[in-house]
Every structure is written in C-alpha cells, then in structure tokens.
Amino acid sequence: MTISSLDEVIAGNLPPVDFRKIRLVNFEAASQLASLAYVGGWPGAAVAPSPGLAGVALTSYGGQLPFTNPAPGDATYLAYFEVDASSTCTMYLVDRLWHNSAIVVTTTTAQVINSVAWPPRDRNGSTNGNGVVVGIEVSTATTNAGAIANTTMSYTNSDGVAGRTATIPNFPATAASSTFVPFSLMTGDIGVQSIQSVTLGTSYASGAIHLVAYLTLSRQGVCVANTESAKDATTGSFPLLFDNTVPFLLVLPTAASAPLTFSGVVVYAQG
C-alpha cells in the first residue's frame, strides 16, 4: 500500500532515529561540502571503502543511519528530518548507492572504472540513475599543492547516452579527510547510470579518494547555531525510500574550525 493522508503518516511513523556527529579536526574549508561518514559519534565512523575500481552496489554499510525495510506490500517514506549544529550549516540526508576504491591519486591519465550497476533506488526505483550524482570523497587527506581544475569523469547518463563528461572545476588543495566534491554533469543530464572512467588530470600527490554515487533525499539549513530546524511530511517532499536505502549525511559548513557538532533526528513512516 501507499501512504496517502496525514492520518496515515501519523499512524505509520516509526520511532525516531537519532544521530550525533562530532568533528574534532578541521574541515577543509567553510562552504566546502564534507562527508560525515568518517566522523565519530552516533552512528560510528565508517571505514574507507575497499571494493576496487568497479565498486560495489550498497544495500547496507557500516556507519550508515539505521534503516529497516517495511513489511511486504508496504512502503517507506521520509516523514521528518530535524537537524541542529554548533555552527550554521546546511545538512544533506543522502542515499549512498555505490562507492569504489583503488583510484591511484598520482595517475593523471584515464583510470577505467566500468562501475557495477547501481541498486534499484534512483528517483523511480530503477537502476537507470534518475537523480543520481557522483562525488569524490576523501578518506585520507591529499597533499596536492594547489587547487586542481581538470578532474573529469566519463559516464552514461540516466537516458542511457554514453560518452558524457562530468567535471570538477575546483578540487581543493591539500583536501582534508571527509572533503566531498560533487561532479557537475553535462547540460541537460539529470543523473548518472554508470561510470566508465575518471581522469584526475593533475596528481593529487598522496592520500586516498573514492567515487560515491548517491541520491539526495532531503536537505535542511541550520540558520542559528545550536537551534534545531526541521522538515516534516508537509514541508518536505515526503520522498519514497526504496528497500535497502543506505542513509548517510553530508554537510556544507560555514565554519571549518573544530570542534563541530552535528545532531538531529530522522523519522521514517511505513504503511
């Protein structure tokens, strides 16, 4: 069945899922997106991925926010997303669909990825990639001396058109662990179905990076430090969450200096 009324939302609400992350070292910079995957707290920090270049489709991963599939015939929705933080920021709740490892940070020519198929959790519950975007996540700090403007990714878009090129026009110098930099897709594209290769263009010098394919479920701004803000079923988009969703958090901070604390509540509704 599907939830079609506020009464059904209320009846279907599950117990809240709390999260609290404490960043004890500086982020890369203010206004630079960061992953909270490797930040300690609750849930605990994730370990760096290690599936190889083709990556792995995710149905669960250590460090994710808890998620339980519904009973057969029922569906899951995001009913409530509340956040607060010790500094103003924007927090993103995302479904981590796929990630990889083994990118050689000193290689400046194309590295073949040929990603395995995403799990069927794009906007339409398919593997086509509608709404799916890809970012570079740093698990061990890089040491490139300056910003890098020539990182590209060859991909197939959600319509099945191959040979598309995504770009990162500004990968930061000496990117700290947790730095997360999304690729910009070609004009008109609304998602990534698969990745064929990545070209760093300029050496990142050292460290460890990963490609991550993800779908944004919700985002919420914290306009006043230490004051919560929230979206519910009426003010958010009430997105459908497909079975085996892997919720993770990204943050766009307005301050880079630690310690920084991020906390909140996620409520799922099932019915």
Per-residue pLDDT reduced to its tens digit, 7-36: 999 999 999 999 999 999 999 999 999 999
Q: How confident is the model at residue 1 (pLDDT cuts 50, 70, 90)?
A: low
CA distance 139 to 258: 18
Paired sense of beta strands 247-253 and 56-57, if any: unpaired
Mean pLDDT value across the chain = 97
Give the model's pLDDT for residue 204: 98
pTM of the model: 0.97
Residue 118's nearest CA partner among 19, 246, 24, 231 is: 246
Contact 18, 84 (CB under 8 A): no
User: Judging by beta carbons within 10 Å of its beta carbon (0-12, 13-18, 19+), is residue 233 exposed, middle or buried?
Assistant: buried
CA distance 150 to 169: 6
Q: What is the CA radius of gyration of the chain?
A: 18
Q: What is the pLDDT of residue 80?
A: 97
Please state, in angstroms and rounded to a whole number, the distance separating the CA atoms of residues 32 and 180: 8
pLDDT in tens, 191-249: 999 999 999 999 999 999 999 999 999 999 999 999 999 999 999 889 999 999 999 99
Distance CA 72, CA 110 (A): 44
Report the Cα–Cα distance between both ends of the chain, in Å, rounded: 6
CA distance 87 to 155: 36
Matching residue, tokens 């990117």: 175
Biggest distance spanned by C-alpha atoms of the chain: 56
The pLDDT value given to residue 66: 98
How far apart are alpha carbons 200 and 266 in whole angstroms?
36
What is the sign of the dihedral through the CA atoms of 58, 59, 60 and 64? positive
Tokens of 168: 């990162």
Report pLDDT digits (tens) over 94-143. 999 999 999 999 999 999 999 999 999 999 999 999 999 999 999 999 99
